[in-house]
Each structure stands twice: as structure tokens, then as C-alpha cells.
Chain A
Amino acid sequence: MKPQDLNVIVATDCGSTTTKAILIERADDGYRQTFRGEAPTTVEAPFEDVTRGVLNALTELEELSGRRILDGERIITPSRDGEGVDIYISTSSAGGGLQMMVAGVVKSMTGESAQRAALGAGAIVMDVLASNDQRPPHEKIERIRTLRPDMVLLSGGTDGGTVTHVVELAEFLAAANPRPRLGSTYQLPVVYAGNRDAREPVAETLKGKAELHFTENLRPVLERENLAPAREEIHELFLKHVMAQAPGYKKLMEWVGAPIMPTPAAVGEIMQTIARRQGINLVGVDIGGATTDVFSVFGEGFNRTVSANLGMSYSVSNVLAEAGLPNILRWVPFDLDEAELRDRIKNKMIRPTTIPHTLEDLKIEQAIAREALRLAFVQHKQLAVSLTGVQRTRTVSEAFDESLAGLTLIDMRTLDLIVGSGGVLSHAPRRAQAMLMMIDAFQPEGVTRLAVDSIFMMPHLGVLSQVHEAAAEEVFVRDCMINLGTCVSAVNRGKAGAKCFDYAFEADGEQRQGTVKVGELKFEPLGEGQTATVRLEPGRGIDLGEGKGREIEAEVLGGVVGLVFDGRGRPIAVPDKERSSVLTQWAQALDAYPA
């Protein structure tokens, strides 16, 4: 069926705990997401068949929509007479998603490129093996042996470069003889995307030990990455091997009208589609119970990272372990005994499905979320970097700045939009809470829009964008993305209490203006769909993103929350002594919590 003939679409995302189904229908004004159903995922025992959960979610969708979708255990396609659907599509992260190990010769060059290729394909990278990673050979071999990846991506060497080091990596792999995670009856798939001159000896080394697939070198020359062929090969093998081994997926693969995508790959697709069609730079985040994915699109550059152990339920205790107690406590607007906070976090870990009942508990959970998001973003910035090993001309200031900022592709000043997804953001009782969490965690600079995914349908739209890009974008803009508003932030810090900046704009026929002091957060309403031109006049020495003391005029977009004028500077510093009162003032500025 041609894309333009698709009138009724059903999509599922088979997550590790829940299978979520949405119905998309074409009306006179275009495509809309109309109903949503969900059911527990059934990959694990006792069911061990993913299609049970899909059928249950579709049954709920039938009940809610009144539309017959199933004929017994068959999806009715195409649609006719108000029954059935024109296409069924799906994403999946059930059963732990796609777990990979990658290898490259130099950790910061081909190792990093291989990591980016695997992450972009939607994988969780379990380890990066490199010739120069400081581990002795026996440790590397032992590590490969103990991990049981679904797939290995082996790279290394530019074309015509080193053969020896690449073959050495293959020898480690052969010595470890790793078994795939799912199913013991097939050989571990290994994608080789390294120096083409090393293909033959690599094949010889891995003969009988792995199922080897060749693809183009992902770093043919130092100056250029070529990640697409490796990503495509990974997708194909994911469907052929990993999915086919997971319980019930063979059946599911017969039902779908387009290849099943790993959930994060689908979210990456929709992010890229939106950035491309709207011509913007964006950062997206999906904070789940176990993992947090961060996506960024800056110009032509797309990056995705997954923080495998940062999340709000299964991994909540790891946020504490990685961030440290003081970093979490700095966002809690009341005094709390450290031992009690520790016990509460662990109790959430062991009973991950519980939800905050009290306001105090909600604030604690949102404090943890800020740190999980912050850490995931730090990890993203570390991987989303310009290619190492490339000679480049630097400005004088860059030459003095050898820190991360000189390399990362994430430029906060040119960032247009931050999109948040995942329970703690999408289901925050007040949208202002989601906005504040994202501002505190990502610390946008200058003028930045913020939005959340209404009901977590980005994966569905990602896979839809492969089939019908325009439909996916229509639904994304109308039903998926909820504009929260715009944040205007000072980039540097000034003297506490001094003027940070003045603002003035016109909305609803009236002139609004005010002064934001250093350390202060101010709010102005500006509704959904409304835009305004804001004139900003910085205080002495203050930079609003275009240089110290420079005035700015910017177009801002309203939203369900509105405009936030942030005079706290970057990085945000929460004063230790007055923590409770300061955090309370910030929250009150946005009316984030009930009094």
C-alpha cells in the first residue's frame, strides 16, 4: 500500500515492562493520534511470547476506540467498513533491547566511532575494546568472555592503515569465543567495519568462531566517519538474529508492515525528522525506569547516547551512587535526614512500580530526576564530539580552552529546542515541574524552547516516519509534543542581587516588562500557539548568549507553562545555607507545586 493510502495505522512499542499501542487515523484535517491502549509485555516467563502482550494492548485499544482491529489473533488489514487497519508497525526494547560490544584500534578514534555507530543503531554498548585501552590482553579476553552481547561491532584502522592491530582484536575475540546472549544454537554475529585490507586475515582468524558480516569501513579516513552502512547492517542483524531468537518475535515480524525497529533507533529517527523539517538544533531525552537516552541533532550531526544505568525505578539507586548524596540533596527543598533519603531511594529500587503519594516524595523523586538527566547529558556531551585525530585550525580562545567545551558538538547557545519524554517528565502532575526539571538539568543558555512528549509516542512515530514521514510529523506536532514554553537564561553569573537583565514584550495587546535579578527566576504567561518578540537588556557584565552586555531581541514561543526568565547564571549554584528557601522561591515563581 502506498503511503498516501494509509488511513488507519496501529503502532506498538514493546517496552521492557509495558507494551503501548496507539491508533492513528486520518481525518479531514490530517493525521491524528486518537486512542491508546497498553498491557504488560509478555516476553518473559510464564508467557514467553511477545505477541500476547501486543494482542492485549490491541484489545484495550479496541475497547476504547470501539473499532474492531482483531479477528481472533489476526490483525485485520487493510481497513474497510470501519474495521481493521491499513498497516501495523512496531518498535521493541523488550528483553533488554540490543546489547552490543564494540572494538576499535584507538579508543578515542575508531573505538569512539564504533561506539557512535552502535548507539545510533539503538544499541546499549556494554564495553568498548581498544588496542590502547590499557587493559592487558588476558583481561580483554576475560571481559569478552563474561559479557554475552547480542552482537559485536569490530572496527579499526583507516583504509590502507594498520592491519596488525585489527587482527589482534579479532584474535582476542576468537580466543574468548563469546556466546550470544539469546539462544545457544547460532554463532555470535560480528559486524566488521574496519580497514578493508584486514578483511581476509580477520575472516581467517574468526573462522568457525563467529558469523562474520562485512560492511564499509566506518572510519575510512581520519577526517570522516561513515557510520550509516554499519548501522544498517546492525539493524538487519538485529532483526535476523536477535529478534528472531526472542520469544514470539518470529510471529510479530510476520504481522508488521515495516521492519521492527529498536525503540531508541525509532526515537532517533523522529528527532532527526523534526530537526530536519523545522531546520532547528535539538536535544531530546527519554528518561525511563532503567535507562536514559539522550539524542541531539546539531546541523547535520546526529548523536545518541544511552546511559544504561540511569533511570527512575530499576536504576534509581544507581543515580544516587553516581551523582552522590549531596548532589541530590541540593535539589530537595526541605531538610531531610541522609539515612532516610538513602532508605527511600533503595525502597523505590526494590519496588520500582510505586509512585509518589505525598508532595514531599514527589519533590524527592524530581530531585533525583534532575541528577539522572544531568548525568545522562554529561555522558552525551562526552560522546557527541568532533572527530579526534583530525587536524583543525583553532581560534586563540579555543587553543587556551582544552576542556570538553572545545570538542563537544553540543552548543547550548545554538540549541533551539529540548524535548523531554519518559514518566517523570511526561506524567509530572504539573507541566511547570517538567519544565523546571529540564531547565535545572540541561541548563539551557540564551533562548531555548522546551517541550514534552504527551503520552510517550515518539517510538511509534519514529517507525512511522520510515513509512510515512509527513504523517509522523503531523502527529508529532499536533498530538505528541506539548510545548511548555521558552526559557531565557543568562549564560554567566553576576553579583547576587544585582540586575541580571530587563525584559520587555507585547502579548495579548498589552506591554509586559520586568527586571530579573541575579539568582532569580521569573515567570510570564504566554499561552500555547502564541509568539512574542522579547527585547532583553543585560546588566553589567551579563551575557545572554551573544556576548557580555549585548542586547538581544528574540522570537519566543508560548506554551502550557509560558516564559521563564532565568537569572541564575550557568552553572546554576544552589546556595547551601538557604537551600530550602531559594528552591522554594524558584518553584513558586512557576507555581510548580501546590501551596
Chain B
Amino acid sequence: MAHSYTPGLRVTAHATIRKERRLPIAGHVVVEQGAAVRAEDEVARAELPGDVDTVNVVNQLGIPPGELASYMLKKQGDAVARDEVVAETRPWLKWFKSAARSPLDGTIETISPITGQVMVRGAPRPVTVRAYIDGTVVEMEEREGVVIETTGAFVQGIFGVGGETSGEVAVVGDGPDAVIGPDDLTDDLAGKIVIAGALITSDVYERASGIGLAALVCGGFHDRDLRRLLGYDLGVAITGHEAIQPILIMTEGFGRIAMAAATYELLASHAGQRASANGATQIRAGVLRPEIIIPRVGERGTAEVADAVVMAGLTPGSHIRIIREPGFGRLGVVKSLPTGIQAVESEAQVRVVEVEFADGTSSIVPRANVEAIES
């Protein structure tokens, strides 16, 4: 097996970060090449075709579809208002008159002589794409979108919920293994991206929501609390569309797990600075992890591009984290990489790694159950 371990998450102090900002359909780019933009600035916009609704005119008027055209008051392409009559019968006695009305404001799209349906398309829906990060427009694709580039710190979490946001970084609690309470959150944290130790509980989340935090970043979160927060059991790990505030980013996993020291220190060292965060996660081929980006505006770095995929192998001395029981979340260093297959407690025959922990003890772990972390 070429890659029997999980590539680690990116935690980098200096990176050149490029973000593609694309419209869902062709539209207009509203910024210039080379322009400096802020996260909340609009960079492109488009109009999505409006919703379509149908009027079953033949049923409503009690006429055969083939005769529909002669009862129509509107033709294809005509604008109509909600409740405006689009077709009607013309009986001798007005009492027997029946009419079909438009269900919405829009335009008549089709009139079908086969089904007797009239389709009305509503007004186009505007969509805007914002810059998401503070940076510079470095690429433009006409009618499609732009690429924004910035230099700064880049941290990937393991799982998140909620979409893009931005705000100032703030730290609450006494370090990466702290568990904060609701009272630790003060009103001045409104709109901020708050870094908070090993675990966020649901009462802390509720308080954060009441204050109006932009994002909560923590080591872990309990699944039962996530269920409470979302109102359903999350089945498939495709997130980012949840309308929640604050967004939530876990750096380590589910449960109470101290945030990796490197992650915590990096984020804490940027307290007071503006950052962008996105909880969107997608765990399938083409993995998407939640992220926190802290740009250093005006600084053009030569550091590596964060979007690059790092697939370097494990070697003795590599720093790793255990990502499955027993010892989930423990950090250690690769002591050796025995060749060949070994049986572990479950009797599974697997490739293993010998890991040495800070207390001097060591243990044999399946290679699939460790992830490389940056030292």
C-alpha cells in the first residue's frame, strides 16, 4: 500500500493562500486585477434564473389542451404579476366565467398545447460572491470569478459546521486543554473568532450564539451536542450550508481532546488580528477540511502554497497523533517503522508503526491509525 497513513492537517505560520471565488453560473466580475480586497467585499455577481411554477390552465378552465391558445390572455415572454389572470373562458353568462391566475410575479415561459400547462418563471435571483479573505486579486476569469491571494497563517481543522465568516481572533481559557464555561464568554467577543481549548459544550455554544460570536474553534465537541445544535443526526460529512452562528470548527475530533499545542499557539499568537474562517467540510475523495486563515495584508510571501497536497511518508522522528482508540488524540514521535505485517489486539493483520510518547513509553499502533502532524 502506497499510503497507509492519514496525511496530516495543515498548520502553517507562513503560507501563500489562494482562494478561487467562482460564480455558480456566468455573470460579472466587479473588481479589477491587482485590486486589494477585504473579506466582505463583493468580487463577482450573477443572476440565477428565477423559480418556475406551473398553472394547469386546462384543468382550471375545463378546456381541452388543444384549445388552450384561444383562451390565453398572455403569450410566451409576457410579464405577469402574481394573481394576474393569464387565461379565461368567455361564456355568455359572466357568472360562469372562470379564470386561471399566475402564482407569482414573472414571465410566461411556455404554453403547452399537449399538457395544457403554463409555466411562469419568477424574477431572477441575484447571487454575489465575496472575497472571503483579505488579499489581492491575482487572477480574473471573465464572467466566471477571480482568485484572491494572501499571505499569512493557515490552519485546517478536522471537522466543522457552518459556512464562511470573518472577524478578529480572540482567545478564551487557559490553554489548549482548558474547558471553558458559559461565563467565560463576554459581550465584547461579538463578531469574533474565538479560540477555546479542548471542548465546547452546548451551554457554551448557546451563550456564544447569544452574544453573536462569528466562530468557535475548539479541540473537540460531543456528537450529542452537535445533534442538539443541528436538530438532526448528521449522517454524511458534507457541511458548510448550515445557517448557524457562530460557525464551529473542531481541530482534533469528537469528544474532549486537547487542541494540538502547535495549532493553539499559532492561533493564540494572532489574537487581535483579522481572520477568515470556514466550517465547510467534505470527507470523500477530494477532501475539504474547515479552515482558519489569518492574512498579513501587504506582505507577499514566498512560502509554500497551502492548497498543495502534502503526501510525504512517515520516517523515524516524524511527529504523529493517534487518531483512534486506544490513546485517541495522543501525540508522539515515530520510533520505528517495522516492515511486514503484524497482528494487533483485534487480530487484524496490519502494517504498524512504533510510537514513542513524551513520558518515554512506546506502543505499536496500526499505521492507518496515526496522522502526521507538523512539528
- The stretch among A163-171, A463-471, A505-513 that forms the contact with chain B is A163-171
Residues A347 and B52 in contact, CB atoms below 8 Å apart: no
CB distance from A575 to the nearest CB of B (A): 26
**Is B27's CB within 8 Å of the partner chain A?**
no
A94 to B285, CA, bound (A): 9
Can you list, as one digit per residue, whether each of A507-544 has a CB less than 8 Å from chain B (1) or not (0)?
A: 00000000000000000000000000000000000000
A137 to B54, CA, bound (A): 6
CB distance from A470 to the nearest CB of B (A): 33
**Is B269's CB within 8 Å of the partner chain A?**
no
Can you list, as one digit per residue, whether each of B158-178 has a CB less than 8 Å from chain A (1) or not (0)?
A: 110000000000000000000
**Is B284's CB within 8 Å of the partner chain A?**
yes
**Is A396's CB within 8 Å of the partner chain B?**
no
A176 to B371, CA, bound (A): 44
Question: Do A342 and B222 form a contact, CB below 8 Å, given A175-B109, A351-B323?
Answer: yes
Residues B286 and A44 in contact, CB atoms below 8 Å apart: yes
Using Cβ atoms and an 8 Å threshold, which residues of chain B touch A309? 235-236
**Is A119's CB within 8 Å of the partner chain B?**
no
CB distance from B23 to the nearest CB of A (A): 12
Using Cβ atoms and an 8 Å threshold, which residues of chain B touch A351? 6, 158, 253, 323-324, 371
Using Cβ atoms and an 8 Å threshold, which residues of chain B touch A17? 285
**Is B369's CB within 8 Å of the partner chain A?**
yes
Interface residues on A, range: 35 or more
Residues B347 and A314 in contact, CB atoms below 8 Å apart: no
Residues B255 and A347 in contact, CB atoms below 8 Å apart: yes
- The stretch among B113-121, B293-301, B333-341 that forms the contact with chain A is B113-121
Residues B236 and A342 in contact, CB atoms below 8 Å apart: no
Using Cβ atoms and an 8 Å threshold, which residues of chain B touch A133? none
Residues B52 and A168 in contact, CB atoms below 8 Å apart: no
Residues B348 and A429 in contact, CB atoms below 8 Å apart: yes
Residue of A nearest to B103 (CB): A138
CB-contacts of A136-172 with B (<8 A): 137-138, 141-142, 163-165, 167-168, 171
**Is A550's CB within 8 Å of the partner chain B?**
no
Residue of A nearest to B371 (CB): A351
Pick the contact of A346: B254, B345, B349 (CB < 8 A). Answer: B254
Residues A137 and B346 in contact, CB atoms below 8 Å apart: no
Residues B223 and A357 in contact, CB atoms below 8 Å apart: no
Using Cβ atoms and an 8 Å threshold, which residues of chain B touch A185? none
Using Cβ atoms and an 8 Å threshold, which residues of chain B touch A361? 324-325, 346
Residues A339 and B234 in contact, CB atoms below 8 Å apart: no
**Is A404's CB within 8 Å of the partner chain B?**
no
Using Cβ atoms and an 8 Å threshold, which residues of chain B touch A315? 235-236
Residue of A nearest to B346 (CB): A362
Residues B52 and A175 in contact, CB atoms below 8 Å apart: yes
**Is A39's CB within 8 Å of the partner chain B?**
yes
Interface residues on B, range: 35 or more
CB-contacts of B210-260 with A (<8 A): 222-224, 226-227, 232-237, 253-255
CB distance from B242 to the nearest CB of A (A): 15
A38 to B232, CA, bound (A): 38
Residues B285 and A43 in contact, CB atoms below 8 Å apart: yes
Pick the contact of B2: A40, A355, A362 (CB < 8 A). Answer: A40
CB distance from B249 to the nearest CB of A (A): 12
Pick the contact of A349: B112, B232, B237 (CB < 8 A). Answer: B237
Residues B283 and A352 in contact, CB atoms below 8 Å apart: yes
CB distance from B348 to the nearest CB of A (A): 5
A261 to B89, CA, bound (A): 56
CB distance from A587 to the nearest CB of B (A): 13
Residues B234 and A317 in contact, CB atoms below 8 Å apart: yes
Residues A168 and B117 in contact, CB atoms below 8 Å apart: yes
Pick the contact of A350: B3, B110, B283 (CB < 8 A). Answer: B283
Residues A339 and B224 in contact, CB atoms below 8 Å apart: yes
**Is A399's CB within 8 Å of the partner chain B?**
no
Using Cβ atoms and an 8 Å threshold, which residues of chain B touch A357? 324-326, 344-346, 348, 365-366, 369
**Is B93's CB within 8 Å of the partner chain A?**
no
- The stretch among A223-231, A318-326, A491-499, A560-568 that forms the contact with chain B is A318-326
Residues B2 and A39 in contact, CB atoms below 8 Å apart: yes
CB distance from A515 to the nearest CB of B (A): 32
**Is A427's CB within 8 Å of the partner chain B?**
yes
Question: Do A429 and B347 form a contact, CB below 8 Å, given A44-B286, A137-B54, A321-B233?
Answer: yes
Residues A317 and B236 in contact, CB atoms below 8 Å apart: yes
A432 to B187, CA, bound (A): 59
Residues B110 and A175 in contact, CB atoms below 8 Å apart: yes
Can you list, as one digit per residue, whether each of A323-347 has a CB less than 8 Å from chain B (1) or not (0)?
A: 0000000000000001110111111
Residues A429 and B323 in contact, CB atoms below 8 Å apart: no
**Is A374's CB within 8 Å of the partner chain B?**
no
Main secondary structure of the interface of B (DSSP, over half): loop
A509 to B65, CA, bound (A): 81
Using Cβ atoms and an 8 Å threshold, which residues of chain A touch B119? 171, 175
Residues B223 and A167 in contact, CB atoms below 8 Å apart: no
A499 to B330, CA, bound (A): 52
Residues B285 and A354 in contact, CB atoms below 8 Å apart: no
CB distance from B128 to the nearest CB of A (A): 19
A40 to B121, CA, bound (A): 46
Using Cβ atoms and an 8 Å threshold, which residues of chain A touch B223? 339, 342-343, 345-346
Residues A354 and B6 in contact, CB atoms below 8 Å apart: yes
Using Cβ atoms and an 8 Å threshold, which residues of chain A touch B180? none
CB distance from A95 to the nearest CB of B (A): 8
Using Cβ atoms and an 8 Å threshold, which residues of chain B touch A429? 343, 346-349
Using Cβ atoms and an 8 Å threshold, which residues of chain A touch B346? 355-359, 361-362, 429
CB distance from B60 to the nearest CB of A (A): 14
**Is B71's CB within 8 Å of the partner chain A?**
no
Residues B255 and A355 in contact, CB atoms below 8 Å apart: no
Residues B348 and A290 in contact, CB atoms below 8 Å apart: no
**Is B185's CB within 8 Å of the partner chain A?**
no
CB distance from A264 to the nearest CB of B (A): 17
**Is A408's CB within 8 Å of the partner chain B?**
no
Residues B369 and A354 in contact, CB atoms below 8 Å apart: yes
Residues B52 and A355 in contact, CB atoms below 8 Å apart: no
Pick the contact of B325: A94, A205, A349, A358 (CB < 8 A). Answer: A358
Pick the contact of B237: A142, A314, A359, A362 (CB < 8 A). Answer: A314
Residue of A nearest to B225 (CB): A339
A78 to B349, CA, bound (A): 37
A404 to B175, CA, bound (A): 58
**Is B53's CB within 8 Å of the partner chain A?**
yes
Using Cβ atoms and an 8 Å threshold, which residues of chain A touch B159? 346, 350
Using Cβ atoms and an 8 Å threshold, which residues of chain B touch A340? 255
A175 to B326, CA, bound (A): 55
Using Cβ atoms and an 8 Å threshold, which residues of chain A touch B308? 46
Residues A41 and B6 in contact, CB atoms below 8 Å apart: no
Pick the contact of A163: B114, B284, B285 (CB < 8 A). Answer: B114
**Is A548's CB within 8 Å of the partner chain B?**
no
Residues B234 and A321 in contact, CB atoms below 8 Å apart: yes
A167 to B49, CA, bound (A): 22
Using Cβ atoms and an 8 Å threshold, which residues of chain B touch A168? 112, 115, 117
CB distance from B374 to the nearest CB of A (A): 17
Residues B224 and A314 in contact, CB atoms below 8 Å apart: no
Residues B224 and A355 in contact, CB atoms below 8 Å apart: no
Pick the contact of B3: A40, A45, A137, A342 (CB < 8 A). Answer: A40
**Is A56's CB within 8 Å of the partner chain B?**
yes
Using Cβ atoms and an 8 Å threshold, which residues of chain A touch B328? 347
A contacts, CB < 8 Å to B: 16-17, 38-41, 43-46, 56, 60, 94-96, 137-138, 141-142, 163-165, 167-168, 171, 174-177, 201, 205, 290, 309, 314-315, 317-318, 320-322, 338-340, 342-362, 427, 429-430, 594
Sample of 20 more A-B contacts, CB < 8 Å, known A171-B112, A354-B323, A354-B324 = A141-B51, A164-B65, A168-B115, A171-B119, A175-B52, A175-B109, A175-B121, A317-B234, A317-B237, A343-B223, A343-B253, A346-B159, A347-B323, A350-B158, A351-B6, A351-B371, A355-B346, A356-B324, A357-B326, A362-B346
6 residue pairs bridging A and B, Cβ less than 8 Å apart: A346-B223, A352-B283, A357-B348, A357-B366, A358-B346, A594-B347
Q: Which 10 A-B pairs have the closest CB atoms?
A: A318-B235, A429-B347, A321-B233, A342-B223, A321-B235, A362-B346, A343-B254, A137-B54, A346-B254, A354-B324
